[in-house]
Structure 1
Amino acid sequence: MEQQLIDEARPTRYATRQPILAADETVIGYKLLFRTDVVSHFSATDTTESVRTTIDMSTLLGLDILCDNRLAFIPCNREILLGHGIAFLPPEKVAAEIQSDVTMDDAILQACCELKNAGYKIALDGFMNNDPRQPVVHLADYIKVDLQQTRLEEIPLIIGSDRWEHTGLLATGVETRQDFEFARRAGFHFFQGYFFRKPESLRTRGARTNKVVYLRLLQAVSQPELDWMSVEELIKSDPTLYYRLLRFLNSAVVAFRGEVSTVRQALTLMGEDEIRRWCRLAGMFEMSQGRPSELLLSGMVRARFAELLGARVAHGESDLFLLGLLSLMDAILEIPMCAIIGGLSLNDDSTKLLLEHEGSLRPIWELILAVESGAWQAVVHNCRLLGIHEDFAAGCYSSAIAWAQAITDSI
């Protein structure tokens, strides 16, 4: 049944989203982009179809699922603005990103005023010194400056004015911790990029006591033979973990009849495979507290995406679901990956992938990263290496996003 649902997820829907964070690294929204056909994208010269697809897919899949109940930043070119292309999306959940090549005239100014009056937020993408979009600056809720496309000496000229007192200054192209620290010192309020997914090599630390419990639980459920008594004792040793298990089992996501009130009862009902999966998810959920929520959600999407790919991709004895979860654990705990996997029963292929990003599983890893970042040419390349069609990969990824959102709501 699950395979049938994946196969029926056509036309191809590639959802790409990049997190936007505040200075404390909490996620405030996502930049969204979609493609319906990865291959044809390479010859396309007009972005209108891409933007329309973004809007269509946002309507179809739901912004709450795609953006984890946060703000959606959707790029808008001239045609979309004049055609009221985002009118079907809820204004309180959307920031219309006016692209840098949009020519300012009375029609565009009127369209932006109408969006603002309707409750949409306005963002000016790729803002530069002496930007030609000055006529709509007073409407902007966000001014986006690309650190990779702007000379350093120009940044103070762009953001140094007191006219931004009521406008969010948003740095894009923030890919490293150094980028983030520079932008924060420069005066930016928000930051777009994946910088927080990479742990700092010079700032590693031991896990706090409660996180040690979750690491021990992860180790316990990764053993070839499950020690039920050890798992039960670990769950019972942490009240939050115990509560999450009972809440999950009594939620609408799980089709058990009758109320579940004890760990032993939960373990009996769930069975070995499900208890292994739940412990991995719940442990990751707790260990991610205090870190950007995007880390948790991305780890779960990766895990489910990899698991679904495994239906058609050779992966030996490797547990692709576990690999997806572990792939961001170093960023969540801010400790080296070698310390995380030290006590886990992983095979050589899995260990080599997590430590070196090499080995027989590398094409799967590269496909996951390519889909996440919208590197469409790499998506096609790695799908061909794996012997799968792009449609199948897209269906798996869409299913993984919806699944991860439903699970995080229930745990």
Structure 2
Amino acid sequence: MEGQGSEVLMVRQPIFDRNLKIISYQLRYQYSEYIEDSLFDPETEGSMLVMHTFTSLFQDGHINKVPVFLPFPSSMLQEGSSLALPRKEIVIEVHPDITVTEEVVSHLRMLSKQGYRIALDGFSMQPHLIPLIKLVNIIKIDFSLMHRAKIKKLVATLNKAKKTALAQNVDDFETLQFCKKVGFKLFQGGFISRPVKVLGKDVPGNSAALMQLLQQLQRPDITPSEIEELIIMDPKLSFKILKVVNSAAYQQNRSIDSMQQAVVILGHDQIRKWATLITLASNPDKPEELARNLLVRGRMCELLAESSESLQQDSAFMVGMISQLDILIDVEMEEILRQIPLDEKIKFAISDYEGELGELLEVVIAFENADWDQVQASAFGKEFFEVAYRHSLHWAEQAMAALVDGE
């Protein structure tokens, strides 16, 4: 892996509007004294990394910039000094455990007058936070701390006061629907990574063709000529593969003009990987963030495997990609693993986190969830995670752009 990394572990998590479009990212980072100096000084590497990497988003066919919700240490809100970070690219997030003093209120008022947006995190009607409501723009309501009846009343009150209510810790689509109904405008939580529950084991009609293609692509005995025939039968898939492998995401030294040429140059495993990737990332009925998650997780597993002599990169990529297939097509993972002829090591890694591939998948998911203790307890060095994640974000944006260009 190329590129120098920061010493700070950081991950971004999406914040959605009512149409499940990403309007911002939540930045999670591993706290240390170094992080304050790194993130909040616009001249430092950590701050530049946030502004250049974590605010970039490919969505609806275009690369855009979205702000990041940046948690501020309480000590910084006591100081009263001006902030030099760009106003449009950050939302100042105030922790609910903050001690509200006259200095804090004065500092937040100053930041608001300077044009910064301010979010109050984890609000559940704590008395000490009430004085801050009039100073903030966004109020994050924690579903794990309040009853739904109280949440409904609180959201109505905040909407009347022209405060943006953000539903925090929304863990499933049923909760998401409730949030929309009671008037939340923004949404954050694990619902995007949870499969929708379906009755029975039948594969939905719009996913049947996808499953059939995956079944063929993952056959251990499939030959390069059979892969080529499968892809050529779908002109759209064939065109997209050629677009992607010629894009910046793959960095080919020469133009690849035919599927036969692609198979010869890239090889059996790489063509199968890209055909699988494009097939999984091309579901128009799901939010773009699902496709992005598939790409980032698969690529990150692959890059971490690259640093380990005992792990196969292609298998690691497939573990990352297939591990979220149930979310993409609303089919139980047990049924997916039964139908698609994957290597047993891949199946056990996905179903039970078994073996080295399972441990790899588990720690990548821990990284996505900002579980820094589990990340640091893993066999992979801290520096590998930071570089692999940053590279994977960039690679996924390039791949998604190539996919759209191939429409």
* TM-score, normalising length: structure 2: 0.80
Corresponding position of 2:9: 14
Matching of residue 370 in structure 1 with residue 366 in structure 2:
yes
The equivalent of 2:215 in structure 1 is 219
Q: Contact 1:129–1:157 (CA<8 Å) still a contact in 2?
A: no
| Cα 1:148/1:271, change in 2 over 3 Å | same
Out of 378, 381, 389, the residue aligned to residue 389 of structure 1 is: 381
RMSD (Å) for aligned C-alpha atoms: 3.3
Range moving further from structure 2, 18-27 or 131-140: 131-140
Matches within 5 A, 1:11-410: 11-35=6-30, 50=35, 52-55=37-40, 57-60=46-49, 62-65=51-54, 68=57, 69-81=65-77, 82-85=80-83, 87-89=84-86, 91-104=87-100, 108-109=104-105, 111-113=107-109, 115-116=111-112, 119-129=115-125, 131-134=127-130, 137-152=133-148, 154-161=150-157, 163-164=159-160, 166-203=162-199, 206-209=203-206, 211-256=207-252, 260-287=256-283, 289-311=284-306, 312=308, 314-315=310-311, 319-359=315-355, 361-381=357-377, 383=378, 386=379, 388-410=380-402
Give per-residue Cα distances to partners, 1:206-230, cap 9 Å, x unaligned.
3444x44443443343233543444
Unaligned 5+ segments in structure 2 are: 58-64
Q: Structure 1's 392 and 250: CA in aligned 2 closer, same or farther, altered over 3 A? A: closer
Contact 1:12/1:395, CA 8 A, preserved across alignment: no
**Partner deviation per Cα, 1:104-147 (whole Å, 9 max, x = no partner):** 56654554455445554321212232654555534533211111
Q: 1:135, 1:50 → 2: CA distance? A: 28
- Point out which structure has higher relative CO (alpha carbons under 8 A, 6+ apart): 1
Q: Tell me, in whole angstroms, the C-alpha distance in 2 between the residues paired with 1:317 and 1:73.
A: 34
The answer on whether the counterparts of 2:198 and 2:331 sit within 8 Å (CA) in structure 1 is no
For the 8 Å contact 2:319–2:357, the answer to whether it is kept is no
**For the Cα contact (< 8 Å) 1:217–1:279, is it kept in 2?**
no
For the residues of structure 1 that align with 2:252 and 2:134, how far apart are their CA atoms?
A: 55
Label 1:138 to 1:342 Cα distance change in 2 as closer, same or farther (>3 A).
same
Question: Cα distance 1:221–1:61, how it changes in 2: closer, same or farther (>3 A)?
Answer: farther
* Paired residue total: 388
User: 3-state SS of the aligned residue for 1:125?
Assistant: strand
Deviating more after overlay: 368-377 vs 130-139: 130-139
Q: Is the Cα–Cα contact under 8 Å of residues 25 and 292 in structure 1 kept in the other structure? A: yes
Contact 1:104 1:133 (C-alpha < 8 Å) held by counterparts? yes
Contact 2:118–2:136 under 8 Å retained in 1 = yes
- C-alpha distance 252-302 of structure 1, shift in aligned 2 (>3 A): closer
1:378, CA displacement in angstroms?
Answer: 1.7
TM-score, length basis structure 1:
0.80
SS at match of 1:349: helix
Q: 1:284 to 1:83 in 2, by over 3 A?
A: farther
Aligned to 1:38: none
Alignment-mate amino acid for residue 352 of structure 2: E
After superposition, what is the alpha-carbon deviation per residue over 1:281-324, rounded to whole angstroms, capped at 9, x for unaligned? 2112103x332333222222221222222232644798111000
Shift of 1:373: 0.9
**1:310 to 1:339, Cα distance in 2 relative to 1, 3 A:** same
Residue 263 of structure 1: CA displacement?
3.3
Distance in 2 of aligned mates of 1:316 and 1:250: 24
Q: Shift of the alpha carbon at 1:334?
A: 0.7
**Would the alpha carbon gap of residues 242 and 138 (structure 1) be closer, same or farther in structure 2, given more than 3 Å must change?**
farther
